Amino acid sequence: MALQAQPLEWGHGPKTFEVFLEPTCPFSVKAFKKLDALLELVGEENVTIKIRLQSQPWHLFSGVVVRCILAASTLPDGTAAAKRVMKAVAEHREEFEFVDHCAGPNMQATPEQIIARLEDYSGVPLSAAFAEPDLQTAIKWHAKYARQNGIHVTPTFMVNGLVQPDLGSGDSIRAWADKIEA
């Protein structure tokens, strides 16, 4: 039986706010931490927030972390489990990253140790789902979707299918809401 990755979406409104994130990127973490407040401000009946994962090779454990998030999404409480994993990464970002993208304590870390850290911090059992070959389909979908939309940096924001180059992680939640509500 093939794994089914659950969509990384919150809210159920007619407007769509897509956020392309690299989970270990400090700017993506800043954006991720604002999403719950944005959903509360705009209202889950007015917007659907969709997270798209954009693995970036200079964040050296990016592939492992992205796979862990998508593995979590295949579990019985998929979307909530994936969000717990993303929050664990955001709260402990330095433990999943390298100093200057090439040095530091993680030089000795293995993918297995990274998975164990995420399981410990999030409380989500990831190992079995991470090891499923079928998970590759979901990972490839996220990468292809980002490429098809011309996404090269994170975070990048789209409102109703249109890239918003003037939005960034440093913008206020109100600025994001104004784009959604326009």
2 assigned to some structural domain: no
Alpha-carbon distances, residue 57 vs 14, 61, 62, 72, 95 (angstroms): 34, 8, 7, 21, 17
Burial of 148 from C-beta contacts in 10 A (0-12 / 13-18 / 19+): exposed
Q: State the total domains in the chain.
A: 1
Tell me if residue 30 falls in helix, strand or coil.
Answer: helix
- Tell me what pLDDT residue 57 has: 87
What's 116's domain CATH number? 3.40.30.10
61 assigned to some structural domain: yes
Predicted structure pTM score: 0.96
1 assigned to some structural domain: no
Domain of 111, in residue numbers? 9-181
Main-chain dihedrals φ then ψ at residue 158, nearest 5 degrees: -130, 140
- Tell me what pLDDT residue 119 has: 98
4 assigned to some structural domain: no
127 assigned to some structural domain: yes
- Tell me what pLDDT residue 2 has: 64
Residues of the chain where predicted confidence (pLDDT) is lower than 50: 1
56 assigned to some structural domain: yes
38 assigned to some structural domain: yes
Main-chain dihedrals φ then ψ at residue 21, nearest 5 degrees: -125, 145
